[in-house]
Amino acid sequence: MPQPVKRFRVRPSGPLRGEARVPGDKSIGHRALIFASLAEGESRISGLSGGLDNLATADAFRAMGIDIQLHGNAARVSGKGLRGLSAPKRPLDCGNSGTTMRLLSGILVAQRFPSRLIGDASLTKRPMDRVIQPLRMRGAHLDGSAGAKKGVLYPPLYIHGLKPGESLRELVYETPVASAQVKSALLLSGLYADGLTQVIEPGPSRDHTERMLTALGVSVERDGLRVTLDPSKGKLRWRGFDLQVPGDPSSAAFAVVGAAMVPGSEVTVRGVCVNETRTGFLDVVKAMGLQLDIDEEEGTNASGERVAALTTRNGPARATEIEDEALIVRLIDEIPVLAALAAVAEGKTRIRGAAELRVKESDRIAVMVQTLRAFGVECEEHPDGMDIVGGRPLRAATVESHHDHRIAMTAALLGMIAEGETIVNDTDCVGTSFPSFVPLFRQLGADIVEEVV
């Protein structure tokens, strides 16, 4: 029998109005669970995303002997220190989470036991060379698997562990592209290495790992695009901690853009992480002429992250250009939802320099162009982006999620302003990052339901 699947049914709604809180930031949630597992003693974490990605990280550490008690969006973690992990008795299933796989690889290559990292069908198509190669350069023993492209390594990852007397070496590495996941994997491996770890990036990337290490008392030096962890400077151990995970800016982007798109809307999202490496989408919303207030009175939390309330009001939007390399890396995950906003903006929006989108959960360039065209939007695909001509009425459509949570949610926003009834098929994937998406938008006034078919 075929398995039941979920879908969204969306109709044009009245104004979106009210206040909301989005799930905790899953990037910070991953790191909170990792550092709590490697801490000495008990940690209490609240505000986790509740999605499947953070659960994959928690389950991996449970399989390595860490006691993690999950209660809703909270976790109690009994850490065993840097050297306290045990050999897993089964492959570590990362689900759909590339962050889980890449960050865990940095820790596992330093252990004395073998391990295997596996993932779902989508994750298994994502290249892993960019983390495998630099880890090998510092003496790690790990392999990937053959896949779609000859000579490129994909999951599963096979990590053989260090042999008696071996240790990870010093590493100075220039990354070919800015990647917080690669940088974080190398820094995590550096906690176990003999000698410093230095990562030089071509542009800025998310710095949650550096912020959290610093908050825990580990010396991490940042000089422009160069990050250095030197074990000879300061401690490499920390006690358990209490942490409230701030709201996910990538999830908040859907509420911000939804309010910007739907006539008459005004929405405030509270408790959102406004780390400057994550807020490029806010710069674009402002550049498109929309009313956006950022209230940082909520201050800085225990992980060193700035937290704010975001208030957005609907208004006329104008086309823009999204192509600056330093900006692209600050909004790479938000490009699909910004493409939806471009569909209602007057003029042609140009997006370039975003080839990274082709190796996300789906080929987000091709899929977004296909989705926009289904709604009647004029757009053109390019190797590293797209052109979108906005400002015309949209027609409802039946579209596929392509097993990609951001595509599913973006299509739902388009359905809120399209004439007729929109169906978004195969929406189980939304549970990976934003399980409360439908109830949150219903609370704000959207006409959206999730069905099992």
* 50 and 194 share one domain: yes
Is residue 51 assigned to a domain? yes
Q: Which of 244, 260, 275 is the last residue of a domain?
A: 244
pLDDT score for 3: 79
Statement to judge: residues 250 and 196 lie in one domain: no
Is 13 within a domain?
Answer: yes
Residue 115: what pLDDT?
99
Task: Look at residue 187 and tell me if it is in a domain.
Answer: yes
Same domain, 232 and 309: no
Q: What would the pLDDT profile of 185-228 be if each residue is shown by its tens digit?
A: 999 999 999 999 999 999 889 999 999 999 999 999 999 999 99
Distances (CA, A) of 121 to 96, 98, 102, 125, 410: 8, 12, 16, 7, 22
pLDDT number for residue 184: 99
Whether residues 185 and 230 fall in one domain:
yes
Does residue 269 fall inside a structural domain? yes
What whole-number distance in Å separates Cα of residue 434 and Cα of residue 255? 12
Strand, helix or coil for residue 325? helix
10 and 114, same domain (yes or no):
no
Residues 290 and 370 occupy one common structural domain: yes
Range of 108-112, 148-152, 428-432 with top mean pLDDT: 108-112
**Is 21:271 a contact under the CB 8 Å cutoff?**
yes
Query: So what's the pLDDT on residue 178?
Result: 86
**Helix, strand, coil shares of the chain as percentages rounded to 5?**
30, 30, 40
pLDDT at 234: 81
Same domain, 36 and 19: no
Same domain, 192 and 311: no
CB distance 416 to 405 below 8 Å: no
Last residue within a domain, chosen from 244, 261, 288: 244
- Which phi and psi (to 5°) does residue 242 adopt? -110, 135
**Tens-digit pLDDT profile for residues 4-31:** 899 999 999 889 999 999 999 999 999 9
The residues pairing with 306 across neighbouring beta strands, listed in sequence order, are: 300
Total number of domains in the chain: 2
* pLDDT of 2 higher than 80: no
Distance of CA 25 to the CA centre of its chain: 8
The alpha carbon of residue 262 and the mean position of all alpha carbons in its chain are separated, in whole angstroms, by 25
- Residues 208, 218 within the same domain: yes
**Under 8 Å between Cβ of 427 and 7:** yes
Domain assignment present for residue 201? The answer is yes
Burial environment of residue 297 by CB neighbours within 10 A (0 to 12, 13 to 18, 19 or more): exposed
Mean pLDDT of 371-382: 98
pLDDT digits (tens, 9 = 90+) for 290-299: 999 999 866 7
State both tokens at 154.
Answer: 């994909």
Domain check: are 68 and 89 in the same one? Answer: yes
Please check whether residues 213 and 119 belong to one and the same domain. yes
CATH code (residue 387): 3.65.10.10
State which residues form the domain around 34: 26-244
pTM of the prediction? 0.86
Instruction: Give the model's pLDDT for residue 119.
Output: 97
- End of a domain among 244, 274, 304? 244
Catalytic residues: 333
pLDDT per position as a tens digit, 300-333: 777 889 999 999 999 999 999 999 988 998 999 9
Lowest mean pLDDT among 160-164, 200-204, 249-253: 200-204
Calpha distance 348→369 (Å, rounded): 14
Stated as kind and residue range, the H or E segment containing 266 is strand 266-273
> CA 391 to CA 288: how far, in whole Å?
13
pLDDT value, residue 285: 98
Six-digit token string for 138: 């510092």
Give a yes or no: residue 320 inside a domain: yes
Question: Do residues 16 and 42 touch, judged by C-beta distance below 8 A?
Answer: no
Contact criterion met (CB below 8 Å) for 348 and 391: no
What's the pLDDT score for residue 212? Answer: 96
Check residue 298 and give its pLDDT: 66
pLDDT surpassing 70 at residue 347: yes
Residue 1: inside a domain:
no
Please answer whether residues 286 and 312 qualify as being in contact, where contact means their C-beta atoms are separated by less than 8 angstroms. Answer: no
**Average of per-residue pLDDT values in the chain:** 95
Do 105 and 219 belong to one domain? yes
- Confidence check: pLDDT of 1 > 70: no
